Amino acid sequence: MTILGEQIIGHAVRKGTNGEIFGLDAATGEKLQPGFGGATLDDLEAACALADKAFDTYSETSLEARAVFLETIADNILAIGDELIERCMAESGLPRGRIEGERGRTMGQLKLFAGVLRDGGFLDARIDKALPDRKPLPRVDLRLRNVPVGPVAVFGASNFPLAFSVAGGDTASALAAGCPVIVKAHSAHPGTSELVGRAVQKAVKDCGLAEGVFSLLFDSGRDVGQGLVADRRIHAVGFTGSRGGGTALMKIAASRAEPIPVYAEMSSINPVLLFPAALAARGAAIGTAFVGSLTLGAGQFCTNPGLILAVDGEGLDAFVAAASTALANAAAAVMLTPGIHKSYCEGTARLAAHKSVKTVGQGLPAETLRGQAMLFSTTAEEFLAHPELQDEVFGSSSLVVRCPDEAALRRVVEALEGQLTIALHIDAGDHAAAAKLLPLLQRKAGRLLVNGFGTGVEVAHAMVHGGPFPATSDGRSTSVGSLAIARFLRPVCYQDLPAELLPDALKDENPLGLWRRHDGKLENA
């Protein structure tokens, strides 16, 4: 394949004429060729019209046909070969191992949803058969299944150019649900986006699906992305990015004539709670492990551990000392974009200069466009007095909050905003204290984890990558794992439909072999 700077509108490719975007070599900031034409509002209109037209047929494709489609996308991505890996490395500054791993993860996500489709449980099929003899009134025949919500807009993320972008989790779950997808490519990796977009486009053709099932647009400003969210034919939005960007899309979606759901993953500092027994037994070891998580991928994970909470004492001293030592040898890593690098430098400078904050550790000095890892410290009292210390600094920066006692630690947790993850480091002697805190922690985060760090988000059935605002715009869902399909579904009830008009999922003879609820009770076949 060759990168041509073209967007994808159904079966067609078309160079946008609304400005030009260039991918940048993350390590040098130099422009990568070719330029990518930004979409015009006509391009947006064409993509939305095609998606709307494709919906009625695509939403009723068989589960098996959709599963094969997702598997075909995965195969087509692999078939791009090393060109994808190299372009993605250049655009992101991430190393080969990470990008190859991310490609595997992206393919794994697509295949996971193929399995979800073949299982069919997401349809939540329910049958309450008619009771014509019921007194005082007969009961009608009621059957329920989930159907896709409609065409979905997906915004590519800067920090996962494959797994959270063109054919990433949002696209995979929306396509699995039966929703056509229009992707707004992230400007940080347009070449990667085009390559993956062509792989998806080819899969649409390979599988003989309606062309509007997938389009990919580049946006030289904000009009196309905002126009996408405002378009009446779009019925849900998937976004991963900044709090400012996410809340802007939420506002647009809420002010439409027909408001639609926005699933925006935004801002999380992923508190790590260190309990006394664990600190006493292995404070230093936890400190060293923490630095591994903090500096992974230049700290550019939504689940990066940006906040450490513990009761003051020798254990915490040991933790901080070990973390500082480990940090002192941490090389500064290339960041994703010059913009992200700039924000990181500003954020860490702000903390370094904050009157309530001490710098307690730092990584090796940074050359151009690289981020120096940083560790700061403050007290519970100061943290509570300065809400801005909760602001996410995207990158390998973290803040230790020293608490005088357990009660102060609890007050700090109570003051926290919503989070993707909260980690607890505990030994057996801490279980009672942890149990007391769990109900509160559960209010605050989508994932609670023990003796680890939130980085490393397994794509699985029991994963939740979500959480209360501002971690996400909608804490009732996840963007990673098989449950993500629920975001793009709505239930429909069919009352007294003749057998021949019923969808397969709800026919008496259960041709799909689904688990279904009969009068509320799960039954198979």
- Phi, psi angle pair for 63, to nearest 5°: -60, -40
Q: Min. distance of Cβ 401 from a copy of itself in angstroms?
A: 22
Tell which one of 17, 62, 368, 495 touches a copy of itself (CB under 8 A).
Answer: 495
Tokens of 117: 């489709």
Asked if residue 466 binds a copy of itself (CB under 8 A), the reply is yes
Whole-angstrom CA distances from 31 to 35, 66, 85, 333, 358 are: 9, 38, 18, 20, 38
- The whole-angstrom separation of Cα 146 and Cα 86 is 40
Q: Judged by CB under 8 A, does residue 523 bind a copy of itself?
A: no
Which distant-in-sequence residues (6+ apart) come within 8 Å of 297 by Cβ?
94, 98, 159, 333, 455
- Answer for which of 388, 500, 509, 511 binds a copy of itself (CB under 8 A) is 500
Least separation in angstroms between residue 487's CB and a copy of itself is: 9
Minimum gap (Å) between residue 347 Cβ and a copy of itself: 22
CA distance 194 to 463: 29
Site for a copy of itself in 374-413 (CB under 8 A): none
Cβ nearer to a copy of itself, comparing 237 with 366: 237
Q: Is 62 in the site for a copy of itself (CB under 8 A)?
A: no
Question: Which structure tokens are listed for 130?
Answer: 């008619």
Binding status of residue 346 toward a copy of itself by CB under 8 A = no
* Beta carbon of residue 359, minimum distance to a copy of itself (angstroms, whole number): 31
Counting contacts by CB under 8 A, is residue 22 touching a copy of itself? no
Q: In the beta sheet, which residues pair with residue 9?
A: 12, 215
Identify the CA nearest to 73 among candidates 38, 109, 46: 109
Q: Is the peptide bond before 138 cis (omega within 30 degrees of 0)?
A: no
Please give the helix or strand (H or E) that residue 51 lies within, else none. Answer: helix 41-58
Cα(432)–Cα(437) distance, rounded to whole angstroms? 9
Span 92-151, contacts to a copy of itself by CB under 8 A:
115-116, 119, 121, 124, 126-128, 137, 139-140, 142-144, 147, 149-150
Q: How many residues bind a copy of itself (CB under 8 A)?
A: 84
* Window 218 to 277, contacts with a copy of itself (CB under 8 A): 250-251, 254, 258-259, 261
Residues in region 288-307 near a copy of itself by CB under 8 A:
none
Q: Which of 79, 407, 415, 493 binds a copy of itself (CB under 8 A)?
A: 493
CA distance linking residue 456 with residue 507, whole number of Å: 42
Our finding on whether 169 is near a copy of itself (CB under 8 A) is: no
Q: Which of 39, 400, 463, 485 binds a copy of itself (CB under 8 A)?
A: 463
Catalytic residue numbers? 265, 302
Is residue 440 within the footprint of a copy of itself (CB under 8 A)? yes
